[in-house]
Protein backbone atom coordinates (compact mmCIF):
# COMPACT_ATOMS: atom_id res chain seq x y z
CA UNK A 1 0.00 0.00 0.00
CA UNK A 2 2.79 2.45 0.94
CA UNK A 3 4.64 1.72 -2.31
CA UNK A 4 1.47 2.29 -4.32
CA UNK A 5 0.86 5.65 -2.60
CA UNK A 6 4.47 6.68 -3.17
CA UNK A 7 4.26 5.71 -6.85
CA UNK A 8 0.99 7.64 -7.24
CA UNK A 9 2.48 10.68 -5.51
CA UNK A 10 5.55 10.64 -7.73
CA UNK A 11 3.39 10.23 -10.83
CA UNK A 12 1.33 13.24 -9.80
CA UNK A 13 4.27 15.56 -9.18
CA UNK A 14 6.56 14.49 -12.03
CA UNK A 15 4.58 16.32 -14.77
CA UNK A 16 4.54 19.46 -12.61
CA UNK A 17 8.30 19.29 -12.19
CA UNK A 18 8.79 18.66 -15.90
CA UNK A 19 6.61 21.67 -16.75
CA UNK A 20 8.73 23.90 -14.50
CA UNK A 21 12.02 22.84 -16.03
CA UNK A 22 12.42 24.71 -19.30
CA UNK A 23 14.78 23.41 -21.95
CA UNK A 24 17.88 25.46 -22.49
CA UNK A 25 18.13 27.42 -25.70
CA UNK A 26 20.96 26.17 -27.91
CA UNK A 27 22.00 29.81 -28.31
CA UNK A 28 22.74 30.14 -24.59
CA UNK A 29 23.72 26.60 -23.61
CA UNK A 30 27.39 27.32 -23.10
CA UNK A 31 29.90 28.17 -20.42
CA UNK A 32 31.56 31.57 -20.36
CA UNK A 33 34.17 32.88 -17.96
CA UNK A 34 33.70 36.07 -15.97
CA UNK A 35 36.13 38.86 -16.81
CA UNK A 36 39.46 38.60 -14.95
CA UNK A 37 38.27 35.48 -13.13
CA UNK A 38 38.54 31.71 -13.28
CA UNK A 39 34.80 31.41 -12.55
CA UNK A 40 32.68 30.24 -15.47
CA UNK A 41 28.90 30.21 -15.70
CA UNK A 42 26.42 28.51 -17.96
CA UNK A 43 24.42 31.29 -19.62
CA UNK A 44 21.20 29.24 -19.53
CA UNK A 45 21.46 28.52 -15.84
CA UNK A 46 22.62 31.99 -14.84
CA UNK A 47 20.12 33.95 -16.92
CA UNK A 48 17.12 31.66 -17.38
CA UNK A 49 13.96 33.69 -17.96
CA UNK A 50 15.86 36.97 -18.44
CA UNK A 51 15.91 39.31 -21.42
CA UNK A 52 19.54 39.71 -22.49
CA UNK A 53 21.39 42.44 -24.32
CA UNK A 54 24.74 41.00 -25.43
CA UNK A 55 27.37 43.58 -26.43
CA UNK A 56 30.91 43.36 -27.78
CA UNK A 57 32.77 46.15 -26.00
CA UNK A 58 36.09 47.99 -26.23
CA UNK A 59 37.82 50.42 -23.88
CA UNK A 60 39.52 52.72 -26.40
CA UNK A 61 36.84 53.25 -29.03
CA UNK A 62 34.79 56.24 -30.10
CA UNK A 63 31.75 54.30 -28.86
CA UNK A 64 33.28 53.51 -25.45
CA UNK A 65 31.05 56.14 -23.75
CA UNK A 66 28.17 53.74 -24.51
CA UNK A 67 29.27 51.91 -21.34
CA UNK A 68 27.41 54.66 -19.44
CA UNK A 69 24.24 54.09 -21.46
CA UNK A 70 24.48 50.32 -21.10
CA UNK A 71 24.90 50.66 -17.34
CA UNK A 72 21.92 53.07 -17.15
CA UNK A 73 19.82 50.62 -19.19
CA UNK A 74 20.85 47.76 -16.92
CA UNK A 75 19.92 49.71 -13.79
CA UNK A 76 16.62 50.89 -15.23
CA UNK A 77 15.39 47.43 -16.20
CA UNK A 78 17.33 44.87 -14.14
CA UNK A 79 14.55 44.49 -11.56
CA UNK A 80 12.15 43.71 -14.40
CA UNK A 81 14.41 41.04 -15.89
CA UNK A 82 16.94 42.66 -18.25
CA UNK A 83 20.61 41.75 -18.04
CA UNK A 84 23.33 43.37 -20.13
CA UNK A 85 26.25 41.01 -20.88
CA UNK A 86 29.52 42.59 -22.01
CA UNK A 87 32.21 40.77 -23.98
CA UNK A 88 35.38 42.85 -24.52
CA UNK A 89 37.12 42.36 -27.84
CA UNK A 90 40.30 43.67 -29.40
CA UNK A 91 39.26 42.73 -32.95
CA UNK A 92 38.81 46.24 -34.32
CA UNK A 93 41.77 48.63 -34.62
CA UNK A 94 43.40 47.32 -31.42
CA UNK A 95 40.85 49.21 -29.29
CA UNK A 96 40.92 46.93 -26.26
CA UNK A 97 44.58 45.85 -25.98
CA UNK A 98 44.70 45.62 -22.18
CA UNK A 99 44.60 42.57 -19.97
CA UNK A 100 41.28 41.43 -18.57
CA UNK A 101 42.22 42.92 -15.19
CA UNK A 102 42.95 46.27 -16.86
CA UNK A 103 39.66 46.17 -18.77
CA UNK A 104 37.75 45.34 -15.59
CA UNK A 105 39.40 48.19 -13.69
CA UNK A 106 38.73 50.65 -16.52
CA UNK A 107 35.04 49.66 -16.72
CA UNK A 108 34.50 49.93 -12.98
CA UNK A 109 36.46 53.12 -12.36
CA UNK A 110 35.52 55.06 -15.48
CA UNK A 111 31.90 53.97 -16.03
CA UNK A 112 30.94 52.25 -12.73
CA UNK A 113 29.99 49.14 -14.72
CA UNK A 114 28.06 46.63 -12.64
CA UNK A 115 26.47 44.60 -15.43
CA UNK A 116 28.16 41.24 -15.98
CA UNK A 117 31.35 41.37 -18.04
CA UNK A 118 32.89 38.24 -19.48
CA UNK A 119 36.17 37.07 -20.91
CA UNK A 120 37.89 38.98 -23.69
CA UNK A 121 36.94 37.27 -26.95
CA UNK A 122 37.16 37.45 -30.69
CA UNK A 123 33.93 38.33 -32.48
CA UNK A 124 34.97 38.12 -36.14
CA UNK A 125 33.72 35.42 -38.49
CA UNK A 126 36.12 32.49 -38.47
CA UNK A 127 37.61 33.23 -35.03
CA UNK A 128 34.52 34.25 -33.07
CA UNK A 129 33.80 32.97 -29.58
CA UNK A 130 30.95 30.45 -29.36
CA UNK A 131 28.34 33.02 -28.27
CA UNK A 132 28.98 35.12 -31.39
CA UNK A 133 29.08 32.02 -33.62
CA UNK A 134 25.69 31.02 -32.21
CA UNK A 135 24.27 34.50 -32.69
CA UNK A 136 25.37 34.33 -36.35
CA UNK A 137 23.79 30.88 -36.72
CA UNK A 138 20.56 32.36 -35.33
CA UNK A 139 20.54 35.02 -38.07
CA UNK A 140 22.50 37.89 -36.53
CA UNK A 141 25.46 39.41 -38.34
CA UNK A 142 28.92 39.19 -36.87
CA UNK A 143 29.92 42.55 -35.39
CA UNK A 144 31.51 44.87 -37.91
CA UNK A 145 32.77 47.13 -35.10
CA UNK A 146 32.66 47.50 -31.33
CA UNK A 147 29.39 47.92 -29.44
CA UNK A 148 27.11 45.81 -31.59
CA UNK A 149 24.11 44.91 -29.45
CA UNK A 150 22.12 41.66 -29.64
CA UNK A 151 18.73 41.29 -27.98
CA UNK A 152 17.66 37.87 -26.69
CA UNK A 153 14.16 37.13 -25.35
CA UNK A 154 13.27 35.34 -22.09
CA UNK A 155 13.24 32.00 -23.94
CA UNK A 156 16.78 32.37 -25.27
CA UNK A 157 15.80 33.34 -28.81
CA UNK A 158 17.64 35.93 -30.86
CA UNK A 159 15.26 38.85 -31.48
CA UNK A 160 17.18 41.74 -33.04
CA UNK A 161 20.55 43.46 -33.30
CA UNK A 162 21.69 47.06 -33.28
CA UNK A 163 24.86 48.46 -34.83
CA UNK A 164 27.48 50.52 -33.04
CA UNK A 165 25.87 53.85 -33.86
CA UNK A 166 22.62 52.86 -32.14
CA UNK A 167 22.83 54.23 -28.60
CA UNK A 168 21.70 51.97 -25.74
CA UNK A 169 18.96 54.46 -24.84
CA UNK A 170 17.67 54.81 -28.40
CA UNK A 171 13.89 54.68 -28.80
CA UNK A 172 14.02 51.48 -30.86
CA UNK A 173 16.08 49.56 -28.30
CA UNK A 174 14.00 50.83 -25.37
CA UNK A 175 10.72 49.98 -27.13
CA UNK A 176 11.84 46.45 -27.96
CA UNK A 177 13.13 45.84 -24.42
CA UNK A 178 9.80 47.05 -22.99
CA UNK A 179 7.94 44.67 -25.31
CA UNK A 180 10.12 41.71 -24.33
CA UNK A 181 9.88 42.46 -20.61
CA UNK A 182 6.07 42.46 -20.74
CA UNK A 183 5.82 39.35 -22.96
CA UNK A 184 5.23 35.96 -21.32
Quick: pLDDT tens for 48-70.
999 999 999 999 999 999 999 99
* Max CA distance (Å), the chain: 73
Write out pLDDT tens, residues 135-182.
999 999 999 999 999 999 999 999 999 999 999 999 999 999 999 999
Which residues on neighbouring strands pair with residue 161, listed in sequence order? 150
pTM over 0.85: yes
Q: Could you tell me the fold of the domain covering 25-182?
A: Glutaredoxin (3.40.30)
The answer, yes or no, to whether residue 36 has pLDDT greater than 70, is yes
Question: In the chain, where are the structural domains located?
Answer: 25-182
Is 24 catalytic? The answer is no
**pLDDT tens column, 89-132:** 999 999 999 999 999 999 999 999 999 999 999 999 999 999 99
Q: Which residue among the candidates 24, 44, 61, 107 is catalytic per the annotation?
A: 61
For helices 100-111 and 66-77, give the axis angle rounded to 10 degrees: 70
Amino acid sequence: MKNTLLALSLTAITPALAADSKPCSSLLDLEVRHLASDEAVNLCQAYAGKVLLIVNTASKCGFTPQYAGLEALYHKYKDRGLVVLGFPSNDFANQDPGSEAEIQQFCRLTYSVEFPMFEKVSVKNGTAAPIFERLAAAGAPYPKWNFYKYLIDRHGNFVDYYISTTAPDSAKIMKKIEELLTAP
